[in-house]
Structure 1
Amino acid sequence: MTETAHAARTAERDCPECGEPVAEGGKYVTWCAACDWNVDPGLEDEETPGRIERVRRRLAQRYGEQLLADLADLADPAAGAEPGAAADGARPGTRRGVAGWCATALAVAVHGVTVALLAGGLWLLVGCWGRGALPVLGGLLIGVAVVLRPRFARLPKDEGHRAVLRPADAPRLFALLDEVAATVGTTGVRAVVIDAGFNASVSAYGIRQHRVLRIGLSLWEVLSPQERIALLGHEFGHYAHGDTRHSLLVGGAFQSLDTWRYTLAPAPAHSLVEDFANLMTALPRLLVDGLLVLLEHLTLRQSQRAEYLADSTAARTAGAEAAAGLMDRLLIGESVAGALRRESVAARTRIGGAARREDPAEGLWERLTAHAASVPEHEYERLRRVAERRGHQVDSTHPPTHLRHRRLTRGAPGGALIVLDAARAAEVDADLAEARRSVARELVRG
């Protein structure tokens, strides 16, 4: 860094709000830590969420704060409690509660509508054959039931922008996954899906509900080895703790209600007939919205509790410091996405030094790691404050990120049950090498 650049970076001016000295942010936002002046300049550009999403955000904030207080009596997140143990000693995955049973009953009712449509359609089609338009109506009802049927997830295909790994493809990676799973108190996965996303998740596919882990390289590559263990501990913690919302029964009900909502959405009206159609669907649409909000209300608290407990699992597995570091990394998703967009533009236009590289994808992840490492602490602090103001969360099933970070950092630092040393981290990277290359090539191609 040149002296001029260093001077520009460290230059100060007075805050226009409180008069305190403010350091110039350089390529990052300039803001005042004393009064939060300009801490969130992008707030006006944030897209206004829809009605259902606003309800979800309010519930997420409320339940996140309530659960943070309720779990204050739970053992320190980094303490060596039994994997999956709840505050009362019960396995969290077995604690359904009144809300859980109500959600299950509502899900059964939603699926009952689908079964009734199918049964009614078959009766009209077979029993009323030859009676005017009744068989046609029966066929329509069967078609609606087919659209609303619960679906089993499928394992994604191995394509250019995505790689699907099995134990034979990456034995050292799967050995690490099995070790983390055993430490958490659950079993490993059948497959790992590698893509470019800034996320990670666990799910199940097929009739037999085989387990699969999804790893987004944009997130994985900016984590330290120990933060990667925290990420894996958190994801496997979901298997250990359970979540009613992601069960086949309740998850399928959400899917069916979302399909109804999409089907009943008002269309642009250009005639009286279209106005009449929108009017006729208004009441069913409100009913579906109400059912979605109710199911959200019944399941969200348990889902957020599972997230907090998965954070505890991450802290026990990798250490509280690594788990809190993972929370911070989640805040720089937009910055990482911007860096990847610049890499893609540079590769396609041959600017910014890309012309000097035979393969623009070569070293992409290393450059992304360097970008993440260059984010200064004052930017992380700003993003934490922005997260608290906006109630930032990964999605509506997660407690706000700042609450998760607070819970992980308020106790005494704890040791890690698994330490990923440099040699073993390099072995895992070697297993991921081909997937890293293929995903990088797709990214720079845009």
Structure 2
Amino acid sequence: MEIRTDHRFVAWCAACDWNVDPGEPEEPGGRLDTLRRRLAGEHGERLLAEVTTDELLRPRRDAASVLALALALAVHGFTAALLAGGVLLVVLGWGSALPVLGALCLFIGWLLRPRFPRLPEDEQVLYRADAPELFALIDEVAGVVGTTGVHAVAVNADANASVSTYGLRRRRLLTIGLGLWEMLDTGQRIALLGHELGHYANGDTRQGVVLGNALQSLHTWYYLLSRIERPTLPETLLNACYLAPRSVVVAVATALDHLTLRATQRGEYLADSFAARCGSTAAAVGLMDALLVSDSASATLLRESNALRSHRSGGRAAGGAESGLWERLAAHVESIPASEYERQRRRSALRGHSVDSTHPPTHLRRSRLQAVAALPATVTVDSARDAALRAELSGARGLVARRVLNGG
């Protein structure tokens, strides 16, 4: 028996996989989520084989994408018809009860309106003037990826990163979670930027105006048509009336998921290819390893916050605790034994595609990077530039550290 032990991590057996995954897999959130996970599992292995043998991995506009666009436009068309009908009922129905029905149609149409996210108010937002070296690096990585840079960078404490858009003009926003950023070395950070900007280059359909808002409309419909729990007699009748339209909503949302799932997972592999091209294959693989242990990083930040509050409640001073928070996080990650990385890879393999229906499991993404020809780094950062980048993020690092330690 090869029992791997470290008091900070799960004890497990490398020979028989005992206790590799002591926690229960995440429970599906409902019928829609269950279907999404099943579809992800069906397509996942076939997609991995395809992207591993495809040397020119690139975005594709296939029949499924065209059908998804048509279905999304039909959803928006129904919303437009609802609004137009509401206006006609209000204008032409005076003297009857029709304006009431028209007002209801207009209200539902307003709930279904397209949404344009705003900049986050609870995160540190940087613009080009605040961090010129960081934005220059982002522009350089974007040039390699084949896209343009971003208009703003939001910094928070998450062990994650993402790209999105904000405002009516759909300006680009890169969100950097210091819980992940501070775990990485310079090459891995470049790989992370390449991956995230790669989502702009490959056209993430689920985040687009048409499809993204169609999915939002369907989720709104599902909420409005949700079954009333412990209903009275009139509510039981209402539940019966809701059954058919709710089934249609579920069917349409499932169809959109089915039509876009393959493209979304393929997009993740493509973004990983951009990560390798920008930061090197070795850096991209290191990024995958960091994602495997990101929960440990989040737990470390939570322990730091709890420890500070314990000091305060005990009457002990804790001034300046935020000054070394990120260094302590980096030291913790550096001390994670190889056996824990291996356990996380095996755990990912056991859970398979059910872990995330829109992302391939991390261990498969890592395997795919290692299965194709290794790439050197296209973008590099010398020590002087690295110091400048660190200086530009120092203010955000301190602010986010204070928020973490104060439980914010």
TM-score exceeds 0.5: yes
| Distance in 2 of aligned mates of 1:352 and 1:156 | 32
The within-5 A match list for 1:325-344 is 325-344=286-305
What per-residue deviation string (whole Å, max 9, x for no partner) do you get for residues 265-290 of structure 1?
Answer: 11222421222222221221121111
Instruction: Indicate yes or no: 2:192 matched with 1:192.
Output: no
Residue pair 1:117, 1:142 contacting (<8 A) in 2 also? yes
**Any idea what the Cα deviations from partners look like across 1:230-250, whole Å, max 9, x if unmatched?**
100001111111122221101
Query: 1:63 is matched with which residue?
Result: 43
**Deviation (angstroms), 1:67:** 1.4
Which residue of 3, 6, 12 maps to 1:31? 12
Q: 1:100 to 1:354 in 2, by over 3 A?
A: farther
Residues 25-104 of structure 1: pairs in structure 2 closer than 5 A: 25-43=6-24, 46-75=26-55, 86-87=56-57, 92=59, 95-104=60-69
Aligned equivalents of 2:238, 2:262: Cα separation in 1:
37
User: Following TM superposition, by how much is the alpha carbon of 1:417 offset from its aligned partner in structure 2, in angstroms?
Assistant: 0.5
Provide the residue aligned with 1:416 in structure 2: 377
Q: Tell whether the 8 Å contact from 1:391 to 1:401 is kept in structure 2 after alignment.
A: no
Aligned to 2:90: 125
Unaligned runs of 5+ in 2: none
Q: Counterparts of 1:35-434 in structure 2 under 5 Å?
A: 35-43=16-24, 46-75=26-55, 86-87=56-57, 92=59, 95-130=60-95, 132-157=96-121, 159=122, 162-350=123-311, 355=316, 357-391=318-352, 395-434=356-395
d(CA) in 2 for partners of 1:353, 1:66 = 57
* Structure 2 CA distance for aligned equivalents of residues 407 and 185 of structure 1: 22
Where structure 1 has 5 or more consecutive residues not aligned to the other structure, the ranges are: 1-19, 76-85
1:410 alignment partner AA: A
Q: Are the counterparts in 1 of residues 218 and 253 from structure 2 also a CA contact under 8 Å?
A: yes
SS at match of 1:54: helix
Question: Is contact 1:63-1:304 (8 Å) kept?
Answer: no
Q: AA paired with 2:363?
A: H
Q: Determine the C-alpha separation between the residues in 2 that align with 1:74 and 1:101.
A: 22
Question: What amino acid is the match of 1:383?
Answer: Q
Kept in 1, the 8 Å contact 2:191–2:276? The answer is yes
Contact 1:39/1:382 (CA < 8 Å) preserved in 2? yes
TM-score with structure 1 setting the length: 0.87
Structure 2: distance between partners of 1:179 and 1:56? 36
Report the AA paired with residue 374 of structure 2.
Answer: P
Secondary structure of the 1:152 match is coil
Which amino acid in the other structure matches residue 92 of structure 2? Answer: G
Note closer, same or farther for the CA distance 1:360–1:47 as it changes in structure 2 (3 Å cut). Answer: farther
Q: Structure 1 residues 395 and 298, CA, compared in 2 at 3 Å: closer, same or farther?
A: same
- The answer to whether the 8 Å contact 1:25/1:31 transfers is no
Residue identity opposite 1:235 in structure 2:
E
Cα pair 2:52 2:372 within 8 Å, conserved: no
CA–CA separation in structure 1 for the residues paired with 2:181 and 2:42: 30
Distance 2:374 2:317 in 1: 46
Return the alpha-carbon distance in structure 1 between the equivalents of residues 238 and 221 of structure 2.
15
- Which amino acid in the other structure matches residue 39 of structure 1? V
> Which deviates the most, 360-369 or 101-110?
360-369
342-351 vs 140-149, greater mean Cα deviation: 342-351
Q: Give me the whole-angstrom Cα distance separating, in 1, the residues matched to 2:102 and 2:394.
A: 54
Q: CA deviation at 1:414?
A: 2.3
Shift in Å, 1:355: 4.0
* Mean Cα deviation higher: 65-74 or 350-359: 350-359
The aligned amino acid for 1:182 is: G
Name the residue aligned to 1:79.
none
CA positional deviation for 1:225: 1.1
Deviation at 1:423, TM superposition (A): 2.9
